[in-house]
Structure 1
């Protein structure tokens, strides 16, 4: 069973962040709370064995890719390329928050983390746990912490035992404030297109333009 450390999601203990960053930098797998749901992930490092383990733990097809979570709004330009101005404006309005942008992958996206079509999904969660870890190790490949087909856990108590047992570290931040998976929007074109509806609506995105 992996180590479980409890902390406040918005005011995390530095020792918890240091431990999480060390595990991630060493190629480990960490379960962490976000504003939306709990995620399981690994540092976005080329050849990271933790990246492969996330798919195995989730029992998810390796042909799929994982979104990248980042620390700050500026990371949209760092990891994305040719990002339309409306997406930049929306990111400034909703990040940190439960909105994921699918954009053309920039040169900073490591090999093996972009989708086959050359895009990448990016988000800055409203979670100081996640952002603190990203500031220490860079982008993290993070997906919902559930086995394939199971509900996404919105609190530590909803995590499946198999997830807790196979992760190297689990950060218990209690309940996620949003409790709903993030909205995913296609930001590769001149106008937003919703790929998955979450707490942020198309109307809200349009109003931010």
Structure 2
């Protein structure tokens, strides 16, 4: 049976964060608010939990699950290097709606799907998400919806789609900005925008200079 906590209430927020952290540690799924849409999350290093996340969404392994972090230090531990472009983009836009695709640290034991040695990483600008991530460490997080359905902008929408596959729902009210994060691939010599989103391309170019786009 799922538990739901109203994060607008101080006591429920405290209890919800504690229960969500416990759920993640035991390999269960949680739904959390972010600065874009609600996300369904699991411990990034528990294979069975990531598989359960994919199953809950009805999604295959061909699209790897992104990872959310609560600190830049945590991000650095997950990748070979942020590099010059990555560090500059992190300094300018994290926490915020920017996802960076980087070469994953090869020593890590995790399975996020068919990632081909890369990982998509983001630090969200949402106090509830950041508080949880600082407790749990990196989490595999995807949008809280069934594959092909609209992304959930409220906990009600997430719960309707995901039901009891999720142990804990953290309700922080409706999302104020449902634009997806902008995704930038830094695994090649020239940074490339893979998905246009909340951060405009011209703002990114103001930081890194030349930036390739898909169109």
1:32-89 residue CA offsets vs partner (Å, 9 max, x unmatched) = 1100000001011243x22111111111013332000000123332211133212211
Q: Structure 1 stretch 159-168 or stretch 169-178: which is displaced more? A: 159-168
Aligned to 2:91: 92
Give 1:1-209 correspondences, 5 Å limit: 1-8=1-8, 13-47=13-47, 49-107=48-106, 109-113=108-112, 115-159=114-158, 161-209=160-208
Aligned to 2:212: none
- Is there any run of 5+ residues in structure 2 with no aligned partner, and where? 209-215
Aligned to 2:213: none
* Count of matched residue pairs: 208
Structure-2-length-normalised TM-score: 0.88
- In structure 2, how many angstroms separate the alpha carbons of the residues matched to 1:41 and 1:168? 11
Structure-1-length-normalised TM-score: 0.90
- In structure 1, how many angstroms separate the alpha carbons of the residues matched to 2:129 and 2:20? 10
Query: 2:75, 2:121 within 8 Å by CA — same for their partners in 1?
Result: yes
- Is there any run of 5+ residues in structure 1 with no aligned partner, and where? none
SS at match of 1:36: coil
Root-mean-square deviation (CA), in Å? 2.2
